[in-house]
Amino acid sequence: MGTAQDVLDGNPETLIRSMESNPLRVQVTFPQARQLAGISVKIGGVASEVVVQVRAAESGESISYVISVPQSPDPRWVDFDFDAPQTIIWVEVAVRSVNDQEPAHVHVWEISFRGAE
């Protein structure tokens, strides 16, 4: 349900849903490196593990961040705040419903990139 553009459109009310994949993965390659201070992901209410992997522009090194959240009655934001701004060329966001096996429906409303100020 929905398209990858729906999670990157700046509208936290549009969403995508995986048909049978758990985790749902979204990969973004930036046409030019971007300096980011963090990433926020709006997910559904099921207990979830969210993994954000970023690739640094200069070194090509990948860094992973993981946050697990319990079940909630409503969709909510999961915020990844980097220790220091990073210049990024590639991001992968993986959202896994921890209580479901494949096939499963995983919902993601929005992925928001926070620039360095």
Report whether CATH 2.40.50.140 matches the domain 4-115.
no
14-50 pLDDT, tens digit each: 888 988 889 999 999 999 999 999 999 999 999 999 9
User: CB-based contacts of 77: which residues, under 8 Å, 6+ apart?
Assistant: 40, 41, 42
Dihedrals φ, ψ of 7, to 5°?
A: -90, -5
44-102 pLDDT, tens digit each: 999 999 999 999 998 889 999 999 999 999 999 999 999 899 999 999 999 999 988 77
Strand, helix or coil for residue 5: helix
